Structure 1
Amino acid sequence: MSPTTPPPTTPPPTTPPPVGGLPKHALIGYLHASFANGSGYLRMADVPAEWDIINLAFGEPTSVTSGDIRFQLCPVSECPSVETEAEFIAAIRAKQQQGKKVLISIGGQNGQVQLTTTAARDAFVRSVGAIIDRYGLDGLDIDFEGHSLSLNTGDTDFKNPTTPVIVNLISAVRTLKQRYGADFVLTMAPETFFVQLGYQYYGSGPWGGQDPRAGSYLPVIHALRNDITVLHVQDYNSGPIMGLDNQYHTMGGADFHIAMTDMLLAGFPVAGNTANVFPPLRPDQVAFGTPASTSAGNGYVAPPGVQAAVNCLVRGASCGGYAPRSGTSPGFRGLMTWSINWDRYYGWEFKNNHEPFLNALP
């Protein structure tokens, strides 16, 4: 399939965009920039104008604990159509001139990052800053998966973490935010296991024996809540998760998106402890992630289901059997997908359905 760049479908906004330069409801996607897979390579210049945040996948460490993050464009041997670095940078500038944000995403499925030492923390700050400066990027996406984050035994208070990999990540991101200032865009794409599962289980638990990764993003999100631009949890590749209705919700339909997102908009007691509540995020900080196609991840939901979930969260309509504890959230930020490449492969179903839908929201 040959990539094409359709013309923008939306007129310029009549009111200035909010802080950070993002539209009220944003379309967010990952671009396979450093590797090829079955979806094929897509040049930055050919990314359609509908995408508001483009996350470059992925920056990865030289070793799990080095903190030294490297990013390079897909090799020609793997991606014959890859652009030159100069062309890539020029295309990023063109996107930014259109008001788009281009971020480096750190981690991914294969990029385990464990900042176990202050030396690794400092290497992370130095190397991520070098990537941002080299390509002139707008910010950073934290996509730590697998075993990157876990809580040491006895680290039971998300408000006061003691585990080095958690403390050092918070410190590193704060340093980068301070370096680049108020316009620095910070997003995160944790899996449900690291966030919503924290309603039931946090770390290894009071008696040990639980998976120490359970809820382990919560202290990071909480510490950086004043700095986070958008948190878009991956509502895919997930097991059943208990919602605020104390029922288990299973991915693959509107209900899962509603229940998982409501937890972030309403807040929740961590590990069931009503004296230890994770406070809600602002609606403009919250989006949710869904696969662009059946090939992109488990838990694909066709456009009508995704839009039913958003209508429930934003308007209080189409809620099915789940009533959001958070009420209605007109400021809900939008939708993230893995990935822009997979969306192109499947004829732009995600973009073509959801961009006009988001623009039509109140």
Structure 2
Amino acid sequence: MPRTERTRPSRHRRVFTASLAALAAVVLGAAGVQATAAPASAAALADVNVAKNAGYESGLSNWTCSGASGASVSSPVHSGTSALKATPTASDHAKCSQTVAVRPGATYRLSAYVQGSYAYLGVSGTGTTDVSTWTPGSTGWQQLGTSFTTGPGTTSVTVYTHGWYGQAAYLADDLSVFGPDGGGGTDPGPETPSAPAGLTAGAVTSSSVALSWNAAAGATGYTVYRDGAKVQAVSGTSATVTGLTAATGYRFQVSATNAAGESARSAEITATTSPAGGNPGPSVPKHAVTGYWQNFNNGATVQKISDVPGQYDIIAVAFADATTTPGAVTFNLDSAGLGGYTVDRFKADIKAKQAAGKSVIISVGGEKGTVSVNDAASANNFANSLYSLMQEYGFNGVDIDLENGLNPTYMTQALRSLSQKAGSGLVITMAPQTIDMQSTSGGYFRTALNIKDILTVVNMQYYNSGSMLGCDGKVYSQGTVDFLTALACIQLEGGLDPSQVGLGLPASTRGAGSGYVSPGVVNAALDCLTRGTGCGSFKPAKTYPGLRGAMTWSTNWDAASGNAWSNAVGPHVHGLP
């Protein structure tokens, strides 16, 4: 924020062929002629999947995608831990292909699971009739399938998936080219996975502990152990163990499983449930408005926390200050710049807002923030210092607004540590720049996905960015409904829950260098995403009624414009389906 402005070939032929071979051997033997064993025919071999890396568990190994359009993603997947996500553009349909070895004159069943709009599956170079199949769209996994027969001289074919020009990204997983082995073999069967790493305790209540861990290659499921006993089996990389006793320490481990068996258990961690009867603080409403409150005077209206209008559900105090200790932050109220606003009054105002059902959190970063969390020590300092501020001032949580990048490994570690200390009432918000949320491989996006089980909302800044790509691969200019909806689509289809996506906009033309849109445009974008109405040229393939809401920089600039932004956007957000 600116401080300033599958039909298998018939098996009957196999029996007939084998019978003839046996009869010939008998006749030759009776005539006193020595019979030489003939090599096994292709038809006598078991059918296999001749595609390699068919589930994209090894990234894009064996696959080639046009225009660098493909990527291996960890969510959503049909099975295993990875799937293909390929994004078409206006001039490229995101074709991802693989050449596989086949037998001449053999029949193969081609199939794959796909998700998304205009997803195609096909084969070329068969030497007979090349075939393909497609679906106009699906929001869940759908199996496509067709068959082909190779020509008398065909020893390899090219199988492929692709989307369609200018459409949204498609997903593919578990592709199969099932038939006789053409000499290339198939992927080896699964091996027992290695023990999961990174087991961490997250949100803790008086009766539960949330756990998460890193995915183990080849795993199809995980088993959770409490104090050495198996308590839960899950398919993902997180679980909440319930039915625990308040104020009690527990030991946890997790193992990975697949068809080959179960791995060794992970390193053991301990976690202690919170005392009974605690107060987690106000809960964030289904649809919420977030506003940043300025702890400085830059020409906007100077406010006390008590001055912030009731339309705001989350008030982010901007900003915490870095200290000389790596990763640690503190907070210094600018009493002089805020007209003598005292610390005692500030704390009392926070309590009053919380009593009214609002959450007040401390924001870290901003345009000039220089807090670095890039190793285990700084992650620990970050969590400890934030928890101290929460205890001192009564903050409900933290906002991450670091505009110079972040390390997803250690920021994840820090936020999970904070969550373990603060409990289930912790509010965590983020305010990344647009460029930070263009790809799930980015640090901000990876951090958000890493802490999805404890993340409240990501309010990306749709301003100060220039033109950006939408989820359909088209370029959109800031300041339009399309810019808001097509970019939000990236987050919504990239793994975040709709409740974790908010639209961040300036409250006035003075609140940002560029990207201001009127409250009417904000509301139109909210309607487009949640109801499918009010869209521009881009219309999402589905609606997201659970969308969290909107955010603005700042409550002070809003006040300077007569609270026009919150008066228009606030009621609209609270009236969403």
Same fold (TM over 0.5): yes
**Greater strand share, structure number:** 2
Structure 1 residue aligned with 2:208: none
CA drift of 1:316 comes to: 0.3
| Runs (4+) off by over 3 Å | none
**Mapping of 1:320-335 within 5 angstroms?**
320-325=536-541, 327-335=542-550
1:62 aligns with 2:323: yes
Matching residue within 448, 453, 461 for 1:234: 461
Bigger Rg, which one: 2
Structure 1 residue aligned with 2:371: 113
Structure 2 residue aligned with 1:135: 393
1:290 aligns with 2:499: no
Is the 1:27–1:334 contact (alpha carbons within 8 Å) kept by the matching residues of 2? Answer: yes
1:177 aligns with 2:438: no
Distance in 1, matches of 2:376 and 2:471, equals 37
Distance in 1, matches of 2:414 and 2:374, equals 12
Distance in 1, matches of 2:377 and 2:576, equals 46
Matching residue within 436, 444, 458 for 1:217: 444
Distance in 2, matches of 1:253 and 1:341, equals 24
Distance in 2, matches of 1:283 and 1:116, equals 29
Structure 2 residue aligned with 1:31: 293
Q: TM-score, normalised by structure 1?
A: 0.79
Structure 1 counterpart of 2:459, one-letter code: H
Structure 2 counterpart of 1:36, one-letter code: N
Distance in 1, matches of 2:319 and 2:340, equals 15
Is the 2:317–2:361 contact (alpha carbons within 8 Å) kept by the matching residues of 1? Answer: yes
1:305 aligns with 2:538: no
Distance in 2, matches of 1:349 and 1:82, equals 27
1:188 aligns with 2:188: no
Distance in 2, matches of 1:22 and 1:118, equals 30
**Mapping of 1:190-205 within 5 angstroms?**
190-196=432-438, 198=439
CA drift of 1:265 comes to: 1.2
Is the 2:405–2:444 contact (alpha carbons within 8 Å) kept by the matching residues of 1? Answer: no
Deviations 1:191-247 (A, max 9, x none): 111112x27xx5xxxxxxxxxxxx221221111111111111111111211112211
Distance in 2, matches of 1:176 and 1:192, equals 26
**Greater helix share, structure number:** 1
Distance in 2, matches of 1:129 and 1:352, equals 33
CA drift of 1:259 comes to: 0.7
Is the 2:432–2:460 contact (alpha carbons within 8 Å) kept by the matching residues of 1? Answer: yes
* Structure 2 residue ranges without an equivalent (≥5): 1-280
1:315 aligns with 2:576: no
Deviations 1:19-70 (A, max 9, x none): 962222111100002x21110320112112221000000012125x711201
CA drift of 1:307 comes to: 1.0
Structure 2 residue aligned with 1:359: 574
Matching residue within 321, 340, 349 for 2:555: 340
SS of the equivalent of 1:59 reads: strand
Structure 1 residue aligned with 2:313: 52
Deviations 1:290-337 (A, max 9, x none): 000000012000011111111100100111210213x11111111100
Deviations 1:139-183 (A, max 9, x none): 1111110x242xxxxxxxxxxxxxxx3311110100001111111
SS of the equivalent of 2:562 reads: coil
Distance in 1, matches of 2:453 and 2:300, equals 36
Distance in 1, matches of 2:334 and 2:323, equals 16
CA drift of 1:359 comes to: 2.5
Is the 1:113–1:148 contact (alpha carbons within 8 Å) kept by the matching residues of 2? Answer: no
Q: TM-score, normalised by structure 2?
A: 0.50
Is the 1:55–1:104 contact (alpha carbons within 8 Å) kept by the matching residues of 2? Answer: yes
1:254 aligns with 2:481: yes
SS of the equivalent of 1:228 reads: coil
Distance in 2, matches of 1:265 and 1:25, equals 16
Is the 2:311–2:571 contact (alpha carbons within 8 Å) kept by the matching residues of 1? Answer: no
**Mapping of 1:153-172 within 5 angstroms?**
165-172=407-414
Matching residue within 347, 364, 377 for 1:89: 347
- Count of aligned residue pairs for this structure pair: 296
Structure 2 counterpart of 1:57, one-letter code: A
Identity across matched positions, percent: 40
Distance in 2, matches of 1:83 and 1:20, equals 25
Structure 1 counterpart of 2:566, one-letter code: K
Distance in 2, matches of 1:347 and 1:116, equals 42
Structure 2 residue aligned with 1:210: none
Distance in 2, matches of 1:282 and 1:32, equals 29
Name which of structure 1's ranges 86-95 and 217-226 shifts more when overlaid on structure 2. Answer: 217-226
Is the 1:112–1:148 contact (alpha carbons within 8 Å) kept by the matching residues of 2? Answer: no
Distance in 1, matches of 2:526 and 2:362, equals 27
Structure 2 residue aligned with 1:206: none
* Structure 1 residue ranges without an equivalent (≥5): 1-18, 150-164, 203-214, 268-279
Is the 1:238–1:251 contact (alpha carbons within 8 Å) kept by the matching residues of 2? Answer: yes
